[in-house]
Amino acid sequence: MSRDDLVGISEIAEFSNVSKQAVVNWRIRYDHFPQPIKTLQSGPVWNRETVEEWVKKFKGEMTHVLSFINLKGGVGKTTAAVAVAEFLAHEQRRHVLLIDLDPQTNATVTLISETKWAEMDRDGKTIAQLFSDRVNALHQAPIFDIEQAIARHVSTINDGIARLDLLPSSIRLIEIQDRIPMIALSGNFTINPLEILKSAVQPILDRYDYVIIDCPPSLGTVTKNGLRISTGYIIPTVPDILSTWGIYQIVDNVEKFARDIERNIPPIGVVATKVQANQLHNRILEDLRIRRLGRFGEANALAQPPLFKNYIPQAVAVARSADVEADIRTLKGKYGTAYDSFRGLTEEVIAACETKSI
C-alpha cells in the first residue's frame, strides 16, 4: 500500500467537507467508523478507500438533546434523567452525555463520588465555572475547558458505563445564576447570556447520540441555556395536584421561548414519578392520560403533552439508586422493582425521538 492510499484526520475532513473536530467526534461516537491501519508519529492513518466508502454510507445521525424540567422540586426529575441516561448508554448502547444544570448537583453526585466532584469543582471543571467565566469575562481569563470538564465513563455500576459521560454541576452555580442575565448590562456585549452553554458544548455535541439535561426547578436563564440546545423536553411529575399544576406553565413558556429564538422545541411527554396505589394518584394519572389537566378550567387550554405509558413507582430501590457509595453491579440491582419501568420508559423515549426524528 502506497502512502497515497493513506489518509489522516485532516484529509478525511477535507474530502468529507467537515471539520477535523467532526471526524474526531465520529471516531468516538460510531463503533462502525473504520479502524486506523497504523499510528504514525503524526497521528493515526486510514486506508483512503475504506474511509471514503464509510463516508458515502454515512448519513449523519442527529444528536437528540432532551431537557428534563419541572418547576417543583422533589418530583423525581433527577432520578428519571439519570436513569434514562444510564439505560440509554448501558442497555441501548447509545453514546450519552448528561449535563447537570441544577445547582443542587444531585445528578452529579449520583454518578461520581463526592470526592471526585469536589476535585473537579476545585479545578474549575464544572458547569459553574463555565458561567462564572462569562460573568467575569471583563476581569479574568477563562478557566473552563469542555474537554477537561467532562467526566467520562460515569455511573455507580460496573465501575462506570463506557458510553456515559457527565458534565457536572456545582453548588457555586447558586451564587452565579442570578448574575448571568446581567452580562450585557456589564458592558460585555459579545456574550449572549442564552448562548453560553451552546458555545461551550457545540464542538462535542455530535459525538453523542443523546444529551440528557437535568434542569433546575425554574424557567430562568440557566434552564433556557439548556433549552437553547434542546431538540425536545420531558416533564417528570408526581401525579398529584401541586406537582402537575405547573405543566401548563412549562409548556406555555417553552413554546414562547422557542418562538423567540425561532427553533422548534417540542414536548416529548410527561412521565409520572413516585406513583402510589391510592385514589388521588389514580385519578390524576387518568387525567394525564386523557390530557384533561390543561389550564384547570380555561376553555382554550394549551395542549398537554402525552403521558408516557411507563410510570415510575414509589420504591425504596429508587431512593437507594442515588447512593453512589452503594455496592451495585447492575441496573437491575440499582433500580430494583423500578427496573422494568425505567427500561420501558427509555424505549418509549427512543421511539418518540428516533421514529419522529426529534
pLDDT surpasses 50 at 197:
yes
pLDDT reading at 195 higher than 60: yes
Task: Provide the mean pLDDT of the chain.
Answer: 87
Q: Which residues pair with 39 in a beta bridge?
A: 44
Global pTM value: 0.86
Give the separation between CA 352 and CA 147, rounded to whole angstroms. Answer: 30
Q: What is the pLDDT averaged over residues 12-40?
A: 90
pLDDT exceeding 90 applies to what percent of the chain?
57
pLDDT digits (tens, 9 = 90+) for 106-161: 999 999 999 999 999 999 999 999 999 988 887 788 899 999 999 999 998 878 89
State residue 171's pLDDT score: 94
CA atoms within a 13 Å half-sphere pointing along the CA-CB vector of 151: 30
CA distance 126 to 147: 11
User: In the 3-class helix/strand/coil scheme, how is the chain assigned residue by residue?
Assistant: CCHHHEECHHHHHHHHCCCHHHHHHHHHHCCCCCCCCEEECCEEEEEHHHHHHHHHHCCCCCCEEEEECCCCCCCCHHHHHHHHHHHHHHCCCCCEEEEECCCCCHHHHCCCCHHHHHHHHHCCCCHHHHHHHHHCCCCCCCCCCHHHHCECCCCCCCCCCCCEEEECCCCCHHHHHHHHHHCHHHCCCCCCCCCHHHHHHHHHHHHCCEEEEECCCCCCHHHHHHHHCCCEEEEEECCCHHHHCCHHHHHHHHHHHHHHHCCCCCEEEEEECCECCCHHHHHHHHHHHCCCCCCCCCCCCCCCCCECCCCCECCHHHHHCCCCCCCCCCHHHHHHHHHHHHHHHHHHHHHHHHCCCC
Structure confidence at residue 49 (pLDDT): 84
At 148-188, the pLDDT tens digits run: 999 999 998 878 899 999 999 999 999 888 888 877 555 55
Cβ-Cβ contacts under 8 Å for 47 (sequence gap 6 or more)? 1, 5, 6, 7, 34, 37
pLDDT in tens, 310-343: 999 887 565 555 566 666 778 998 898 899 999 9
For residue range 55-73, list pLDDT tens digits in order.
887 766 789 999 999 998 8
- pLDDT score of 300: 41
Question: C-alpha dihedral over 123, 128, 134, 139, to 10 degrees?
Answer: -50
The Cβ of residue 182 has, within 10 Å, a number of other Cβ atoms equal to 12
C-alpha cell of 213?
439535561
Radius of gyration of the chain (CA): 22
DSSP lists the bridge partners of residue 64 as 210
**Would you state the pLDDT for residue 326?**
65
Tell me whether strands 38-40 and 43-47 are parallel, antiparallel or unpaired.
Answer: antiparallel
At 189, is the pLDDT very low, low, confident or very high (cuts 50, 70, 90)? low
Predicted local confidence at residue 130, as pLDDT: 96
Which residues have C-beta within 8 Å of that of residue 295, sequence separation ≥ 6? 248, 301, 302
> Which residues, in sequence order, are bridge partners of residue 267?
233
All three cell numbers of 299, joined, read 376553555
Calpha distance 41→63 (Å, rounded) = 33
Each residue of 216-236: pLDDT tens digit? 999 999 999 999 999 999 999
Report residue 143 as a C-alpha cell. Answer: 478557566
Would you give the distance in Å from CA 342 to the centre of its chain? 16
